[in-house]
């Protein structure tokens, strides 16, 4: 039984799945240590490096295999899980729909105007705008003046153009 698992081509992927809870635990622990948002990605990067190192250590030092199917399958599966986890993490941290759902779970039976005011624990929808504008400014995608917004930086212009072009190409509607 033990030998058949070791010689299985699925070994790397299985190890990546088994070690995955380690990534979540390390990241949530690191996230709690640092200030949320600003250091969240840094904590995730550190947890990911540790997670991949664990898979490598288990494969090469404990199970004594360096076969390309085991190593490649393990690393690619680990990267797949990391990027999937990143999507989930980003939804929890910034998900607009999830936040609307949470607001309505806390206070059921709100109408449209009340939802606008009660968004994100009563901070209101303007708080979301403020947060997004602050992030775009930080990333230098947008410049904020006293009465206007502008996308003067090349990367801001290219990001906006790419988004518009892709939406048009795939008939995705306005988005956002």
Partner 1 sequence: MLDSTLGELAGFVVSQFLLFYMAHFLIWRFISVGKKGVFLISFIALLTFTILSFLGIWHGWLGSSADLWLAGPGFFLLVMLYLHFYTAIDRSVSLRLLGELVRRHPPQLNFSELQQVYASEEMVASRLQLLVQKGFLTQEGSQGFYYCSAKGRILARITFCLQALYGIKEAG
* Segment 43 to 62, residues that bind partner 1, using CB under 8 A: none
Least Å distance between CB 90 and partner 1? 9
Least Å distance between CB 32 and partner 1? 5
Give the C-alpha separation, 52 to 23, whole Å.
9
Cβ closest to partner 1, residue 45 vs residue 88 = 88
Options 45, 66, 84, 130; binder of partner 1; rule CB under 8 A: 84
Cβ closest to partner 1, residue 49 vs residue 155 = 155
Least Å distance between CB 42 and partner 1? 14
Tokens of 83: 């990027």
Contact set for partner 1, span 141-170 (CB under 8 A): 141-142, 147-152, 156-157, 159-164, 166-167, 170
Tokens of 67: 């076969």
Compose the 91-130 pattern: x for residues touching partner 1 by CB under 8 A, - for all others.
-xxxxxxxxxxx-xx--xxxxx--xx--xx--x-xxxxx-
- CB of 166 closer than 8 Å to CB of 172: yes
Nearest to 44 by CA among 95, 106, 88, 74: 88
Tokens of 155: 């990367």
- CB of 23 closer than 8 Å to CB of 11: no
Least Å distance between CB 48 and partner 1? 14
SS3 call for 39: coil
Least Å distance between CB 78 and partner 1? 9
Contact set for partner 1, span 5-44 (CB under 8 A): 7, 9-10, 12-13, 28, 31-32, 36-37, 40
Torsion angles phi and psi, residue 144, rounded to 5? -115, 125
Give the C-alpha separation, 108 to 126, whole Å.
21
């Amino acid at each position: 039984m033990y030998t058949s698992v070791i010689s299985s081509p699925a070994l790397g992927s299985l190890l990546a799945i088994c070690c995955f809870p380690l990534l979540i635990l390390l990241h949530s622990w690191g996230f709690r240590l640092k200030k949320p948002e600003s250091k969240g990605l840094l904590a995730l990067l550190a947890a990911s490096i540790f997670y991949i190192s664990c898979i490598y250590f288990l494969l090469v030092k404990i199970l004594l295999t360096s076969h390309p199917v085991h190593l490649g399958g393990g690393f690619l599966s680990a990267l797949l899980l990391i990027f999937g986890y990143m999507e989930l993490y980003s939804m929890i941290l910034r998900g607009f729909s999830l936040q609307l759902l949470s607001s309505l779970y806390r206070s059921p039976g709100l109408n449209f105007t009340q939802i606008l005011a009660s968004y994100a624990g009563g901070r209101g929808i303007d708080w979301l705008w403020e947060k997004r504008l602050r992030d775009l400014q930080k990333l230098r995608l947008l410049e904020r003046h006293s009465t206007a917004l502008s996308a003067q930086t090349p990367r801001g212009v290219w990001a906006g153009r790419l988004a518009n072009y892709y939406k048009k190409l795939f008939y995705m509607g306005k988005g956002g």
